[in-house]
Structure 1
Amino acid sequence: MSDDKRVSDLLDDFQRRGLYGFDRADVENALPASSAAVGKALQRLARKGRVKRLRRGFHAIVPVEFATQGLPPYDWFLDDLMRSLDLPYYVGLLSAAALHGAAHQQVQQLQLVVSRQERRLDIPGLSIRFFLKQDLASTPLMQHKGHSGMLPVSTPESTALDLVRYSRHIGGLDAVLTVLSELAEAMNPAGLAAASAAESEFAQIQRLGWLLDLLGQRSLADALHETLPSSKSWSRAALDPGASRTGTASGNRWQILENAQPEADL
């Protein structure tokens, strides 16, 4: 039996077990073939569209029904990829917001929040951007059922705080406000309390509260405000930390310097 046939048969077995992502080492350990022979077989199968190499020896199996797209949806292999990278993560930001029903902004890339720097992944059919977060482990998460298992996803409330934190990387405060206008429907006071308690940057809570007030989400804003210590201990925070610190703090209860005027695209 040829090496290509052995590898192809093994991939068929992977698929039958619901496994669509694998390391090259998995194949080498399973077959009586040299590392070089396995590598060449995978290259030939990649040229035929049977597999696609994503990163560092990790491959995704391409079922026949996804041959035109070049890859199955990310939830078929994402958790296997991240285990291969040994990288703690969760689906976050606009990708998480879309899973929670806030899909006004079309997500062109998969956005993952991770515990260390990782270069973005861009190949035909898949774009992943990684956002570093030092206190990732404390972020409130929920489990989302994917095709090949459960995926960690930020809760609606922790998603909201992350949108504020990374606003300059996802389209600015206008985009954040637009997504929040839909995401608010999935948020609740208990979730806000949990997300607030886990947030290490107090200014992000102030900014989110201000934006919720701007949207007229008074009950959510009130619930968030009630979880916080006395405002006497707060420092003033700029709404847009990357913009000039000129503006007014017109007595708003969040002690926000209003150096931006975000508008939702509704």
Structure 2
Amino acid sequence: MPVQLFSSKLFQYLKRDYYLCFYSAAKFHGAGQQQVQRDYVMTDKAFSNIKKSSLDIHFFTTSKWPSKNIVEKKSDAGIFKISSPALTAVDLIHHQNKLGGINRMLAILEELSEELTKNDIEELLSWYPHKCTLQRFVFLLEELEVEEILLKPIMQHLKKAKYFPVLLSPKSKQKAGAVDNEWKVDINVKLESDL
């Protein structure tokens, strides 16, 4: 049974906040060229993953619960919550090492970029705490040649803050070196999209 059919009732019963995230949310935004074999749920409390016959759900938690950027969608069983395109994109980038790496998600990010709106990005910037993820996000959006109107709010947001060099793909024993781009992103992995 698809997770969107029972997620609201389950988390209402558990009295927990949740939203479908990563590849699970991306498919509802029309981004996902391959069928998702696993569902991903962000919660405000840790849960054990569930893998039983056709049910495969991985749970994640976040240090700062989103105050915005959670969208309600309708299913046959009622309303369920998913991350907006902007939150889906930064969640993927932030958790890239747990989800197969930046190249595995590059095609998804490219498709998601078509669903981004200026309002969605501005809402994200009003509360999102991870500057290094925003640096990677705007760098990748530039690489994907997204419209300037979508890049501008992130650029202005970062220019107001002090930010330091970051690796495009974080590695535990590697530090960012010299960078030659405005967002101080050290390109330590060759970008290869499936599209």
TM-score scaled by length of structure 1 = 0.68
Q: Identity, % of aligned pairs?
A: 27
Match of 2:136 in 1: 207
Aligned residue identity for 1:227: H
How far 1:216 sits from its partner (Å)? 1.4
Match of 2:10 in 1: 81
Which runs of 5 or more residues in structure 2 are unaligned? none
Match of 1:3 in 2: none
Is 1:196–1:227's contact at 8 Å kept on the other side of the alignment? Answer: yes
Q: Give yes or no for the alignment of 1:186 onto 2:118.
A: no
Q: Give yes or no for the alignment of 1:217 onto 2:146.
A: yes
Aligned residue identity for 2:152: D
Aligned residue identity for 2:130: E
Q: Give the root-mean-square deviation of aligned CA atoms.
A: 1.8
Whole-angstrom CA distance in 2 between matches of 1:136 and 1:99: 21
Whole-angstrom CA distance in 2 between matches of 1:155 and 1:75: 15
Is 1:139–1:154's contact at 8 Å kept on the other side of the alignment? Answer: no
Q: Give yes or no for the alignment of 1:133 onto 2:62.
A: yes
Match of 1:227 in 2: 157
Q: Structure 1's 85 and 242: CA in aligned 2 closer, same or farther, altered over 3 A?
A: farther
Whole-angstrom CA distance in 1 between matches of 2:66 and 2:145: 32
Aligned residue identity for 2:45: R
Match of 1:175 in 2: 104
Whole-angstrom CA distance in 2 between matches of 1:118 and 1:93: 17
Q: Give yes or no for the alignment of 1:94 onto 2:23.
A: yes
Match of 2:179 in 1: 249
Q: Classify the secondary structure of the residue corresponding to 1:158.
A: helix
Which runs of 5 or more residues in structure 1 are unaligned? 1-71
When Rg is computed on C-alpha atoms for both structures, the one with the higher figure is: 1
TM-score scaled by length of structure 2 = 0.91
Q: Classify the secondary structure of the residue corresponding to 2:189.
A: coil
Match of 1:263 in 2: 192
Cα offsets for 1:85-134 (capped at 9, x unmatched): 33211011111011000011421111111112111011112111011112
Using CA pairs under 8 Å that are at least 6 residues apart, name the structure with larger relative contact order, 1 or 2: 2
Q: Give yes or no for the alignment of 1:163 onto 2:116.
A: no
Aligned residue identity for 1:263: E
Whole-angstrom CA distance in 2 between matches of 1:202 and 1:161: 11
Is 1:161–1:208's contact at 8 Å kept on the other side of the alignment? Answer: yes
Whole-angstrom CA distance in 1 between matches of 2:120 and 2:191: 25
Whole-angstrom CA distance in 2 between matches of 1:188 and 1:249: 29
Q: Which of residues 97, 106, 126 in structure 2 aligns to 1:197?
A: 126
Whole-angstrom CA distance in 2 between matches of 1:189 and 1:245: 32
Is 2:166–2:176's contact at 8 Å kept on the other side of the alignment? Answer: no
Q: Structure 1's 262 and 123: CA in aligned 2 closer, same or farther, altered over 3 A?
A: same
Q: Classify the secondary structure of the residue corresponding to 2:114.
A: helix
Is 1:209–1:225's contact at 8 Å kept on the other side of the alignment? Answer: yes
Count of residue pairs the alignment pairs up: 193
Cα offsets for 1:109-161 (capped at 9, x unmatched): 11111112111011112111011112124241111101211111111011111
How far 1:265 sits from its partner (Å)? 1.0
Is 2:165–2:177's contact at 8 Å kept on the other side of the alignment? Answer: no
